[in-house]
């Protein structure tokens, strides 16, 4: 089972200018290699059977005949193969010559796609030799290699797994490229046969262009450009090749290689389809194009073939919410700014300069406090307007208590301490609950007492209660209804737990020595609601991840379930790839089942969650990204989990 992934390849063969016999042999070797690795479609560069830089030799009948014979050779080789090969060659038709891509499979040419936009500037003079696809009638057919083949830029190709389109080099640079229209017409992957020459800065420009096009068209994009062997009389062809998916580069060739290369990657078709289904702009654009007939394409079905089995080589990020690499600081700064600006607007709107926050010494309340400090700085308000309340209870440990107190002092906010033990004991007496029974009532009474204190203090001080709960807790329902579930503005509502930890760590590295030391210790503290008394050594006994599972797994599940709508089997597969060597399949299955069970059961808490800012691509706000009935059945999802 390939879980919606299709393996595609961009190849850069070694060529000899005007030597189709040599070139097709080079191409054949690459095709056979790709077939053996389970590639479904392989794309070669522009005019790869002849070489792109033939110049006026394109007017020679011998070269055109040799190119056709080379294509016939490739067709014969393909008879015993499943792989679809896309190669470039010049094709004469009714007195004109067209720069074409030939789509070949199982001994047949499925179609010829001519280039639409021909450059005629700087070092390129294609209009000297070739005609544009715009000069062809829609029904144009050409006799080639013993068969009648459709010659049109208005055709797509449908395999058992996906639909793809083809464009050639300069087409991509057009203001409205053929690939944009092909995507609106149903193409999920675009193949580009190119002969883009090298120049200073051009590689980065091309990478950005391809990234933007694949993101804008919500598609996979496979690009192969001419390489070693092309004429270097005036320019150099460095063999650029890319495979992209929705803006992300999955694989890239090493430029300036003197040997042939194959670049392979698995494109996630289900991910692309999911994005298109929910992206109303894409569907509206498709409807607009349809009004003017811009998305009318003939769809050519390929041969029915068995499912391609291949080694899964794609890297799966175990922490999809956590920024990495060179953009780390910029991303963290942006996330932190979104949170702070959201709170600043709420403070301004309510005309208050007081924020009340429960400070436990844990990650969530620490991040909320840091956001509040940033918001107060933006508004040029005194930090003393932030009232941090530490509320020790039955499970509070010295470590979290001291960190809470020390952090508040270090940040210069107003600190209050209110021990909830006496009030909760009185409440137990009022409802006739035995405090020795440490059940849900025992725990939730403490959470609701703390929320009551914060709300009443906010009323007393004319301020707002700032919520500390995060996105992961909302997904799992790991909050007490009308307890820590409730606030007047939840600054962490869009931040998953793995990102909370990362942001606090990031801020710690930017603080003065005293605050930094405290923050680093908070990052290293086990996650716990501290509602159960500590152990005999005074250490935290109630560890959240022992109860609901590792947050790194739940955040992984959350991302792929919410962002892409993947079914349990695919989420499980991806998790086994991402966490190989850390969690086995059974462990992942167990916690994935827990996630689905809790996610469905706890929707009622999300249906009435407080306001809070969205910071990334996943949000569970009932007013924004996630609208789900609280009584939806979870049976189908749990049944699939059971079968894993």
The pTM of the whole model exceeds 0.85:
yes
Higher pLDDT: 21 or 120? It is: 21
Q: What pLDDT score does 513 carry?
A: 77
Q: What is the mean pLDDT of the chain?
A: 93
Strands 155-158 and 298-301: parallel
Higher pLDDT: 441 or 234? It is: 441
Q: Which two tokens mark 634?
A: 């979870």
Strands 155-158 and 241-245: unpaired
Query: Which among 115, 374, 570, 605 is annotated as catalytic?
Result: 115
Domain with CATH 3.40.50.620 in the chain: 325-642
Q: Which CATH architecture has domain 5-301?
A: 4-Layer Sandwich (3.60)
Q: Which strand (E) or helix (H) includes residue 130?
A: none
Banded model confidence at residue 123, pLDDT cuts 50, 70, 90? low
* Alpha-carbon separation of residue 529 from 141, 397, 486, 494, 536 (angstroms): 71, 11, 15, 20, 18
Would you call 169 a catalytic residue per the annotation?
A: yes
Q: Is the pLDDT of residue 374 over 80?
A: yes
Query: Which among 14, 35, 40, 46 is annotated as catalytic?
Result: 46
Percent of the chain with pLDDT over 70: 96
Q: What pLDDT score does 536 carry?
A: 66
- For 240, phi then psi, to 5°, come to -80, 135
Banded model confidence at residue 199, pLDDT cuts 50, 70, 90? confident
Contact 57, 64 (CB under 8 A): no
Would you call 639 a catalytic residue per the annotation?
A: no
Q: What pLDDT score does 537 carry?
A: 65
Q: What pLDDT score does 329 carry?
A: 85
Contact 213, 33 (CB under 8 A): no
Would you call 608 a catalytic residue per the annotation?
A: no
Contact 148, 142 (CB under 8 A): yes
Domain with CATH 3.60.110.10 in the chain: 5-301
Q: What pLDDT score does 1 carry?
A: 60
Over residues 189-202, the mean pLDDT reads 91
Residue 306 burial class via C-beta count within 10 angstroms: exposed 0-12, middle 13-18, buried 19 and up: exposed
* Alpha-carbon separation of residue 559 from 240, 276, 416, 509 (angstroms): 32, 17, 37, 27
Q: Is the pLDDT of residue 481 over 70?
A: yes
Q: What pLDDT score does 406 carry?
A: 95
* Alpha-carbon separation of residue 137 from 126, 141, 563 (angstroms): 21, 9, 43
Residue 373 burial class via C-beta count within 10 angstroms: exposed 0-12, middle 13-18, buried 19 and up: buried
What CATH class has 325-642?
A: alpha beta
pLDDT tens-digit map of 329-356: 888 999 999 999 999 999 999 999 999 9
Query: Which among 54, 145, 162, 169 is annotated as catalytic?
Result: 169
């Amino acid at each position: 089972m390939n879980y919606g992934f299709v393996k595609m390849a961009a190849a850069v063969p070694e060529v000899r200018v005007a030597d189709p016999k040599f070139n097709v042999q080079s191409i054949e070797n690459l095709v056979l290699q790709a077939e053996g690795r389970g590639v479904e479609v392989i794309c070669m560069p522009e005019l790869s059977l002849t070489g792109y830089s033939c110049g006026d030799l394109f007017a020679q009948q011998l070269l055109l005949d040799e190119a056709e014979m080379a294509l016939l050779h490739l067709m014969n080789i393909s008879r015993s193969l499943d792989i679809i090969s896309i190669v470039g060659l010049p094709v004469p038709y009714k007195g004109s010559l067209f720069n074409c891509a030939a789509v070949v499979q199982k001994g047949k040419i499925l179609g010829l796609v001519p280039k639409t936009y021909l450059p005629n500037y700087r070092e390129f003079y294609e209009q000297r030799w070739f005609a544009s696809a715009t000069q062809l009638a829609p029904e144009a057919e050409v006799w080639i290699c013993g068969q009648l083949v459709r010659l049109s830029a208005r055709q797509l190709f449908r395999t058992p797994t996906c639909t793809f389109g083809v464009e050639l080099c300069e087409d991509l640079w057009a203001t409205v490229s053929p690939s944009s229209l092909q995507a609106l017409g149903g193409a999920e992957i675009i193949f580009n046969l190119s002969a883009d020459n090298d120049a200073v800065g051009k590689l980065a420009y091309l990478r950005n262009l391809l990234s933007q096009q694949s993101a804008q068209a919500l598609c996979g994009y496979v690009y192969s450009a001419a390489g070693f062997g092309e004429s270097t009389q005036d320019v150099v062809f460095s063999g650029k090749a890319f495979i992209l998916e929705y803006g992300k580069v999955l694989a890239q060739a090493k430029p300036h290689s003197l040997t042939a290369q194959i670049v392979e990657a698995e494109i996630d078709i289900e991910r692309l389809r999911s994005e298109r289904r929910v992206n109303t702009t894409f569907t509206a654009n498709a409807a607009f194009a349809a009004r003017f007939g811009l998305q009318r394409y003939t769809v050519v079905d390929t041969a029915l073939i068995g499912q391609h089995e291949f080694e899964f080589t794609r890297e799966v990020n175990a922490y999809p919410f956590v920024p990495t690499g060179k953009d780390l600081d910029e991303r963290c700064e942006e996330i932190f700014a979104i949170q702070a600006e959201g709170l600043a607007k709420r403070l301004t709107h309510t005309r208050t300069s007081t924020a009340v926050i429960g400070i436990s010494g844990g990650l969530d309340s620490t991040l909320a406090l840091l956001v509040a400090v940033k918001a107060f700085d933006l508004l040029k308000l005194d930090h003393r307007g932030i009232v941090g309340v530490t509320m020790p209870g039955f499970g509070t440990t010295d470590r979290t208590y001291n960190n809470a107190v020390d952090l508040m002092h270090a940040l210069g906010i107003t600190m209050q301490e209110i021990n909830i033990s006496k009030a909760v004991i009185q409440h137990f007496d009022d409802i006739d609950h035995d405090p020795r029974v440490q059940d849900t009532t025992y725990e939730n009474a403490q959470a609701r007492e703390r929320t009551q204190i914060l709300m009443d203090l906010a009323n007393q001080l004319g301020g707002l209660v700032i919520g500390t709960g995060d996105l992961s807790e909302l997904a799992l329902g790991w909050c007490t209804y009308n307890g820590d579930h409730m606030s007047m503005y939840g600054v962490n509502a869009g931040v998953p737990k793995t990102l909370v930890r990362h942001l606090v760590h990031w801020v710690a590295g930017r603080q003065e020595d005293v605050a930094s030391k405290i923050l680093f210790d908070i990052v290293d503290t086990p996650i716990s609601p501290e509602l159960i008394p500590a152990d005999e050594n005074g250490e935290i006994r109630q560890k959240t991840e022992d109860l609901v599972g590792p947050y790194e797994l739940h955040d992984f599940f959350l991302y792929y379930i919410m962002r892409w709508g993947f079914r349990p089997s695919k989420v499980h597969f991806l998790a086994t790839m991402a966490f190989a060597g850390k969690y086995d399949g059974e462990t992942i299955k167990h916690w994935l089942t827990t996630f689905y069970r809790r996610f469905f059961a706890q929707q009622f808490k999300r249906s009435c969650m407080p306001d809070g800012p969205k910071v990334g691509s996943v949000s569970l706000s009932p007013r924004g990204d996630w609208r789900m009935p609280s009584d939806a059945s979870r049976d189908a999802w749990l049944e699939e989990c059971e079968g894993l």
